[in-house]
């Protein structure tokens, strides 16, 4: 796959995620894929595809309008796509989840193989884990 095709895969994943089409988004990930989240709060660590899907299933009920992910910039080389992104979504508590991210996606064979997610962990913990 070319770097441009890999970027399109990431953008398509963001579109599906932002529309709360989690089954479609998860279908873009290889069965053996992993998702790592930075920090030392309840969502941190390396998740299998199944564990990441379960994590998302736990978040969706408290984010009834979903979480919109917007790519701000992308750089691709080989099978890696680096993305600066922002999120936005109202929480049922009335808090607004609005975060800044850096993602590194690894893509092979048209599927997401691994993701590393760097974000403001204190904000995420405050909104998504503390209600």
- pLDDT for 131: 58
pTM of the model as a whole: 0.95
Q: What is the C-alpha to C-alpha distance for residues 6 and 105, in angstroms, rounded to an integer?
A: 9
Strand partners, 100: 86
SS3 per residue for 43-83: CCEEEEHHHHHHHHHHHHHHCCCCCEEEEEEEEEECCEEEE
3-129, CATH topology level: Nuclear Transport Factor 2; Chain: A, (3.10.450)
pLDDT tens-digit map of 33-52:
999 999 999 999 999 999 99
- Residues in Cβ contact with 54 at an 8 Å cutoff, skipping those fewer than 6 apart: none
């Amino acid at each position: 796959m070319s770097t441009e095709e890999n970027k399109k895969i990431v953008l398509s994943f963001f579109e599906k995620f932002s529309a709360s089409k989690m089954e479609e988004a998860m279908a873009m990930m290889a069965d053996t894929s992993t998702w790592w989240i930075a920090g030392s709060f309840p969502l941190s660590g390396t998740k299998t595809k199944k564990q990441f899907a379960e994590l998302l299933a736990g978040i969706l009920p408290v984010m009834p309008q979903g979480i919109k992910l917007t790519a701000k910039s992308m750089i691709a080389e080989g099978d890696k796509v680096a993305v600066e992104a922002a999120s936005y979504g109202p929480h049922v508590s009335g808090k607004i989840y609005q975060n800044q991210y850096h993602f590194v996606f690894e893509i092979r064979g048209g599927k997401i193989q691994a993701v590393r997610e760097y974000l403001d962990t204190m904000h995420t913990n405050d909104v998504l884990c503390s209600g």
